[in-house]
Structure 1
């Protein structure tokens, strides 16, 4: 599958001499996290991200009349429109960037984020995560999203994985009275895109993201910054789950809402952790009852699923047979080593044939 099937197109672009305040406004209005920076002829010069704006501009208190060229990343890491999803996935892993301009003839024709691929992976493997359990019970009323209630557990049935098994218990949050600068500093320090907002008694009342900060930048300039607190910045109410929510339900909620991470709360709405898209994929791999499914998730962690569209995985009594055609640039020994790390694998037989010479990463 080519990138045109999953990229966002056409991209919202910006010129290098545009003021940062205008770039922030464009980003917030389009609800995107990255703008390609283009020359007058449409050729790509670099990119400016929400992280660039929040860390290099808002957090530092730089002049809002400063231009995009002052904070943009250049040259940008790009991927060609005729490349495969697998190529983009490996480029993300190799470079550490989270967004790639998709180019044709040196001009951006779309944007692809690593989150796009994670969402695609969650959607593809939703059935392996298990059936809908009904633990997500929400009501989009005038009051907004209601946190899902704990599910009823059948103590006589087999034990099933829950969000509490895979969530992070690191409690990174801000109080509702935290200032704009305090929120920005926390996002920068923990290198995260969002943070829950807590009331005085520890209940989760909202979430502040980098996008919320960008949307508020005009308001910040117009009044005393000390009055612009997390309570006014946050998106509320927060979309949350409970520790005993089924991973399948949390995954579907993340996909449906386009989120990266969910705060995890107890029965009194107090923060007890957070769960990320990647946590749910890992949970699916660990708790898959079928050995072949566990192997597929291990492969997913290394290479995007599209790379294995020409492979078949069979497992019988600890023996895993991998047949078909290997993705380009990946050898049989590398795949066998990965599969042997999966619990329950006793022996590996890789009969898959190589696809050919390795692809050249990067673009000219």
Structure 2
């Protein structure tokens, strides 16, 4: 069973800017390349930060409307008493949060969530930029065909990994939603089956109705509890 890595879904041909790239050139690159952010790299292609559309917009502000006369008039950074943001180095969010090509997509999604970012520059072992991965890239596995998901669960997970007989668990997949039915020998096997099947790329949700061959025993003090009726009858006999 294999999971997609950052390297497999990332954009390899990355649009970048240098620290001295001016504001208008960055905005032009966004429009020409249909991107919303670019890494800022040094001469060795090591990421220094990221400039996004939000960073460009953050460098300007709008005055509130005054009887409709000043609506839409921008208040420039120097008028607000703030330093001008003219270049990528002044505009970027730094330091850059990066990912590694070998990361799995779940690990990458957790990093994006924790850091509150929408994309991650991807660097190799030397720290040089080799790609960029965005939130939309993380959604690509969910475009997998239902048949491919079902076959991976049946063969890679259930048979090859868990060594179950092919007819032990029945698998159906509908729009990425997996349903498992069947019977196993040990109750402890069910959470393992669910966890491995749920981790398959493209699985949106999983529902299981798997039974086991172990008798249901309520234990107390290491002994099997007797049925309620039997225990009650025994107690009444002792009182008599």
Aligned to 2:110: 90
Aligned to 1:354: none
TM-score (norm 2): 0.53
1:110 aligns with 2:113: no
Aligned to 1:131: none
Equivalenced residue count is 158
Question: Which structure's CA Rg is the greater one?
Answer: 2
CA distance 1:292–1:9, change in 2 (3 Å): same
Contact 1:21 1:65 in 2 (8 A): no
1:171-320 correspondence to structure 2 within 5 Å: 293=173, 297=177, 314-316=180-182
Query: 1 CA distance for matches of 2:12 and 2:91?
Result: 24
Aligned to 1:57: 59
Query: 2 CA distance for matches of 1:30 and 1:51?
Result: 17
Query: 2 CA distance for matches of 1:49 and 1:291?
Result: 43
1:323 aligns with 2:193: yes
Query: 1 CA distance for matches of 2:23 and 2:119?
Result: 19
CA distance 1:81–1:346, change in 2 (3 Å): closer
Q: Which runs of 5+ in 2 are unaligned?
A: 63-73, 78-83, 149-169, 200-204, 213-240
Tell me the alpha carbon deviations over residues 25-64 of structure 1, each in whole angstroms, 9 at most, x when there is no partner.
Answer: 112111112100112232111101122223x135454468
TM-score (norm 1): 0.36
Q: 1:70 aligns with which of 90, 107, 122?
A: 90
CA distance 1:76–1:292, change in 2 (3 Å): farther
Query: 2 CA distance for matches of 1:49 and 1:70?
Result: 12
Contact 1:92 1:98 in 2 (8 A): yes
Aligned to 1:81, the other structure's residue is in SS state coil
CA distance 1:126–1:347, change in 2 (3 Å): closer
Query: 1 CA distance for matches of 2:121 and 2:211?
Result: 38
Contact 1:18 1:68 in 2 (8 A): yes
Tell me the alpha carbon deviations over residues 276-305 of structure 1, each in whole angstroms, 9 at most, x when there is no partner.
Answer: xxxxxxxxxxxxxx996489649xxxxxxx
Q: 1:47 aligns with which of 38, 45, 50?
A: 50
Q: Which runs of 5+ in 1 are unaligned?
A: 129-289, 299-312, 331-337, 350-364
Residue 90 of structure 1 and its aligned partner are, at CA, apart by 2.6
Aligned to 1:24, the other structure's residue is in SS state helix
Aligned to 2:111, the other structure's residue is in SS state helix
Contact 2:109 2:138 in 1 (8 A): yes
Query: 2 CA distance for matches of 1:295 and 1:316?
Result: 21
Aligned to 2:109, the other structure's residue is in SS state helix
